[in-house]
Amino acid sequence: MIGPLPDAPVVHVLVIAAATGLIWLGSGWLEEAAETLAGYYGLPAVVQGSIVVAVGSSFPELTSVLVTALTGVFDMGVGALVGSAIFNVLVIPAVAGLGADDELEANRAIVYKEAQFYMLAVSALVVTFALAVIYFPVSADPIVGTMPRSLAVIPLALYVLYLFIQVQDVDDAAIDPVRDEVDVRREWGKLAAGLGLIVVTVERLVASVESLGATFGVPEFLAGVTVVAAATSLPDALVSVRTARENRGATSLGNVLGSNTFDLLVAIPLGVLIVGEVAVNFSTAVPMLGVLTAATVLLFVTLRTSLALTDRESYALLAAYGLFVAWVVAETIGATSVLKGV
């Protein structure tokens, strides 16, 4: 019988690398099955990307939040989710745009529905955090509050509205399903296998990152924003690049925005529902969500220009992500004073 792994940095690095590869594999199964099932049930490209593929490729982020909530390192999970959201908005469209044979094509549904609803999702989460600080304050610190289960219902309710809008779009599109030579049971089984593999490997990934952070004195939030965020964002990146190369820009961009909408409106609230309540530090949450808002606005502007993403705009998005990483590191090492208490 194999015993527990040695608690050594090199072992944890190898575990992180292996877990990332397995997340890649599991997400591939999940995305392929989700795409086939979307065609089977006749879903439009935008809905396919923003719901079916997005929820599937977001499962690593959801799992990381749930695992960290259960293991008492919720800060790492939230950090991973916010870092992943910023990575998704800036890096994935840029890489997909550069990897496409031509400009990455958008459309008005992406720009005026998906992007704008996502900005609404960010705003709703900021309001929810503000309500936590106002109505459930921590007496020792005026900018720290407690977010109970009752407040977690607010973003979840907004996601229900998002699903309602998508269902209406499916009815309006009235696309004929593609059911030739589709083994539905096999595809659902493949999807379940991908989800199971992701659950197991994300748990090991979070544990190893936590151990490395403790060994080298890296704050949980920074570890989440960098290592965990990058690893859990791999599925979204792979899905978006592949669909972009197949000249399916709507699905590629819908995956990015739909994934982030799911992360903010579902993943964080589910973590709160599991642990009962979590502390909300406004000095941490507001600056990070402010950066996320700015990144979303930047993506919105670049997509709206001729409804396509050019190579120059893709490089601009990558440069913006580089500035974000530099800012987070500066905050963490004390070069600035915004992220107090991290």
- Which token pair is 342? 């991290």
**Is the distance from CB of 76 to CB of 206 less than 8 angstroms?**
yes
% pLDDT > 90, the chain: 11
pLDDT of residue 280: 79
pLDDT of residue 50: 67
Lowest mean pLDDT among 66-75, 184-193, 241-250: 66-75
pLDDT of residue 52: 67
- The pLDDT confidence band at residue 3, using thresholds 50, 70 and 90, is very low
Kindly state the average pLDDT of the residues 162-170. 80
In b/e form, how buried is each residue of 292-326, taking b as 16+ CB within 10 angstroms? bbebbebbbebbeeeebbbeebbebbeebbeebee
- The pLDDT confidence band at residue 157, using thresholds 50, 70 and 90, is very high
- The pLDDT confidence band at residue 339, using thresholds 50, 70 and 90, is very low
Q: Give 192's Cβ-side CA count (13 Å radius).
A: 6
Top-ranked range on mean pLDDT: pick from 192-206, 266-280, 295-309: 295-309
Kindly state the average pLDDT of the residues 287-310. 87
Decide which of 143 and 67 is more confident: 143
pLDDT of residue 5: 59
Kindly state the average pLDDT of the residues 53-74. 71
Decide which of 254 and 154 is more confident: 154
* Distance, CA of 333 to CA of 78 (rounded, Å): 19
* Distance, CA of 179 to CA of 206 (rounded, Å): 39
93, 130, 144: which is closest to 258 by C-alpha?
Answer: 93
Decide which of 158 and 274 is more confident: 158
Enter the pTM of the model. Answer: 0.76
- The pLDDT confidence band at residue 158, using thresholds 50, 70 and 90, is very high
Q: Is the per-residue pLDDT at 342 higher than 50?
A: no
Kindly state the average pLDDT of the residues 6-13. 78
Token look-up 């209406």 returns 168
pLDDT, one tens digit per residue, over 98-123 is 877 778 877 787 777 888 888 899 88
Q: Is the per-residue pLDDT at 150 higher than 90?
A: yes
Give the chain's mean pLDDT: 79
pLDDT, one tens digit per residue, over 171-228 is 666 666 777 778 888 988 988 888 788 777 876 777 787 777 777 777 666 766 776 6
- Which token pair is 191? 């999807």
- The pLDDT confidence band at residue 143, using thresholds 50, 70 and 90, is confident
Q: Is the per-residue pLDDT at 73 higher than 70?
A: no
* Distance, CA of 342 to CA of 331 (rounded, Å): 9
